[in-house]
Amino acid sequence: MDFDITVTPEQFEKIKNLDTSLGMWFWNMAVMVAPYDTGNSRKAITLTKNTSKKIQIRYNTTHANYIKFLEEGLGPVKKYKGYIGDITRLAITQELIFYLLTAQKPMFTSTPHVVLRSSKSVFSQERKFLKQADMHTYAITQKARNTISKTRETKYRKSHGIALSSFIGKKVTTSKMSNQTVRGSVMGISILSQAYRETRKSS
């Protein structure tokens, strides 16, 4: 995506170094645009760099491996196709252009917050994992979805010879939705977690 902006020398002096408030605002935008079911995919969006020269937002597919399928429109859910490459990128670009032209810093710069909840939208692959862990298959919690994603992504990367990577960055804050009637089994989560650890260990 290329664009040309003409500014005066005075304007350039004001905007030649990106303000860190931009990174916080762009991060919030990425989280707000992302699909919201249990909150797991939004929780997986991390601000890994926020300097005067570089802003980097990453989507951690280890924690939400279905992000790539939603983005590419693969599988049963098509409505979110391009939500990163098209919608989020365009929204951030528009805000960046506004900043470069006006030097006005964003006012909303707090860390994104995500409310985690259970959902009755369970993917077929997730049902298999839940069943193996002797958990109910008509609903899923954010924690169970996260653990299943980590297991599936680890298996995928190992089978394709892709290195298991991790990155450090700022993470969203979270809270749990109150008065939820659907809850995951503690024993079931333990079984899912054990399956993930075994996947990590295996060659």
50 membership: H or E segment, kind and range = strand 45-50
* Residue 42 forms part of a structural domain: yes
Are 193 and 136 within one domain? yes
Domain end among 87, 112, 137: 112
Task: Kindly state the tokens that stand for 118.
Answer: 């259970």
Domain end among 83, 112, 141: 112
Longest dimension (CA), the chain: 66
Are 13 and 108 within one domain? yes
Nearest of 81, 143, 101 to residue 11 by alpha carbon: 101
**Does 1 have pLDDT greater than 90?**
no
144 membership: H or E segment, kind and range = helix 142-159
The position carrying tokens 């899923």 is 140
Number of domains making up the chain? 2
The position carrying tokens 């280890």 is 62
- What are the tens digits of pLDDT across the range 130-155? 999 988 899 999 999 999 999 999 98
* Residue 4 forms part of a structural domain: no
Q: Contact 166/63 with Cβ under 8 angstroms?
A: no
Domain end among 52, 81, 112: 112
> How far is the C-alpha of 72 from the C-alpha of 78, rounded, in Å?
8
Are 39 and 95 within one domain? yes
> Which DSSP state fits 160?
T
Q: For residue 198, what pLDDT is reported? A: 78
Are 21 and 79 within one domain? yes
In DSSP terms, 174 is beta-bridged to: 114
Q: For residue 192, what pLDDT is reported? A: 74
pTM: predicted TM-score of the whole model, two decimal places: 0.87
Are 24 and 92 within one domain? yes
Are 70 and 88 within one domain? yes
Q: Which domain holds residue 19?
A: 9-112
| Residue 195, Cβ density class (10 Å: 0-12 exposed, 13-18 middle, ≥19 buried) | middle
Are 122 and 98 within one domain? no
Q: Contact 18/100 with Cβ under 8 angstroms?
A: no
- What are the tens digits of pLDDT across the range 13-33? 999 999 999 999 999 999 999
Are 120 and 197 within one domain? yes
Give the mean model confidence (pLDDT) for residues 79-84. 97
